Amino acid sequence: MGSREVLGQAARLASSSLLLQVLSARPVPERRPGALERPRRGRSSPHLDPSTEGGRQKTAVVPPPYWLMLLYSTTIFLAREAFRRACLSGGSQRDWSQTLNLLWLTVPLGVFWSLFLGWVWLQLLEVPDPNVIPHYGTGVVLFALSAVVELLGEPFWVLAQAHMFVTLKVIAESLSVILKSVLIAFLVLWLPHWGLYIFSLAQLFYTTVLVLCYVIYFTILLGSPESTKQQTLPVSRITNLLPNITRSGAFINWKEAKLTWSFFKQSFLKQILTEGERYVMTFLNVLNFGDQGVYDIVNNLGSLVARLIFQPVEESFYVFFAKVLEREKDATLQKQEDVAVAAAVLESLLKLALLAGLTITVFGLAYSQLALDIYGGTMLSSGSGPVLLRSYCLYVLLLAVNGVTECFTFAAMSKEEVDKYNFTMLALSSSFLVLSYLLTRWCGSVGFILANCFNMGIRITQSLCFIHRYFQRSPHRPLAGLHLSPILLGAFALSGGITGVSEVFLCCEQGWASRLAHIAVGAFCLGVTLGTAFLTETKLIHFLRTQLGGSTLPDKMT
């Protein structure tokens, strides 16, 4: 399969994943029930504990439900991230039996992490008051079990991802999300006293349906005579997907295993950088429950765009870069058509990430308070929430650029370069945890976001240096994607100034008429900015048109 065909499939995979994220998006997901609720008139919420501070009513928030999702995400990440990165790399000349055997090792690894982390969550962390949040212990067990269940489908997922089965991904994930939401709605209406049982059972149900979708799909596909004739897959029977001894006698490919170990060390450190602030909050109690709840809501609102856009793009185009480029070869030693296509795609992705991040940063600064006021009322918009969300908007800009740069870097690095990079990650992880603790002590929950900005800045610098070295001896300069025209930068600056003035005079305590006027000003400025981008960034627009339209990359882009 040529690089242009792979690009078309990666673009379709990214767009379908983006659509799935939009359909299943929630500003504050059901995974964190009760983190913060606006009490209904005439009744109190069991999750709110009003207290008085300085003559003003303050709301304390109960955070343990998001601790369960942290347990689940940590188990999943540590057990499978390294395997995915290693096994999605490489060309078609591989022994898939050995690759599948390696992928099945995620299951015992997941069992280990679920048992160890479950013990930590139940024995070392503070267990919430059962009168406030009952069934916490059962919730820990079910969330840990759901992580192990999801890992049972890892060989099927990697095989589908490597062969760009877009339809399967769309059907499996959308069906799982829909059925999970239906189950939650049913249980909340009919058995609300179950509390955490509802969300724990729903999470287990979600992972079970997801795995079954992949298993049933491959069972039907491999059982059909058309599949046998076409021989599009490296396996011919469903039993070939199970662990087995290969013809060569080797259970796994040791080259892939060594690469997996390198990525495992990196994924352990990356998890600290990704969820570091939650670990600091959970283990060190640097914030009270109220501040933790507000930070959790702002974090989910702020990361909504990152989850909707940046994550699907990063995951899909990592597959593209990993399939097109060979790890052990320099850019000048590879097929030049593939290198040219990869460079053109990287340049366009960098430009897209920069434009999306700047748009969120510029307009988020002026509309953070309004967004929180609409979502949660004065309980969110009058405290530290607006400052947190404005800071997060700046963080999203760095998050966007980092996602694209690391997407390419991790797909192109050799095993030796991955090991060398791990030393940098180790130092960065340690400094990040210390910095998070110190900055939070100094300036509250904003310190977490500032520490994350520092973390992302260092990681972006590392990736940019690698990309520069990688293409240094080739005629391609993909880092040109980080350059914007002066006219477009002026449009962003002017929009930021106008919306900032509009916020001062129109938002947010003058009534809905002034709020709507503030929104209208922002919509006008956004339209002008996007129009300017459309006129000045013609190369990016052409890339989006061709890829979203399902075309291959035109020759003139390379």
Residue 534 covered by a domain: no
Q: How many domains does the chain have?
A: 1
226-237 residue pLDDT tens: 655 455 678 888
pLDDT at 503 over 70: yes
Residue 273 covered by a domain: no
Residue 214 covered by a domain: yes
463-482 residue pLDDT tens: 999 999 999 888 889 999 99
Residue 136 covered by a domain: yes
Encoded tokens for 5: 């065909």
Residue 466 covered by a domain: no
376, 297 contact by CB (below 8 A): yes
Mean pLDDT for 169-182 is 87
Nearest-angstrom CA–CA distance, 160 and 87 = 12
Predicted confidence band of residue 23 (pLDDT cuts 50, 70, 90) = low
ω into residue 508 within 30 of 0, thus cis?
yes
Nearest-angstrom CA–CA distance, 490 and 535 = 14
Nearest-angstrom CA–CA distance, 442 and 450 = 11
pTM over 0.85: no
Q: Look over the chain and give the mean of its residue pLDDT values, rounded to a whole number.
A: 79
Nearest-angstrom CA–CA distance, 345 and 441 = 42
253-278 residue pLDDT tens: 888 888 888 888 777 777 776 666 67
Domain residues for the domain of 78 are 61-256
Measuring CA to CA, which residue among 384, 393, 387, 388 is closest to residue 362? 393
Query: What radius of gyration, in Å, describes the C-alpha atoms of the chain?
Result: 24
pLDDT at 554 over 50: no
Residue 116 covered by a domain: yes
Residue 74 CA to chain centroid, in angstroms?
Answer: 13
pLDDT at 57 over 50: no
Angle between helical axes of 166-190 and 196-223 (0-180°, round to 10): 150
Nearest-angstrom CA–CA distance, 93 and 536 = 43
For 18-49, b/e burial (b = at least 16 CB within 10 A) is bebbeebeeebbbbbbbbbbeeeeeeeeebbe
Residue 485 covered by a domain: no
Residue 541 covered by a domain: no
279, 74 contact by CB (below 8 A): no
Mean pLDDT for 101-123 is 93
Predicted confidence band of residue 288 (pLDDT cuts 50, 70, 90) = low
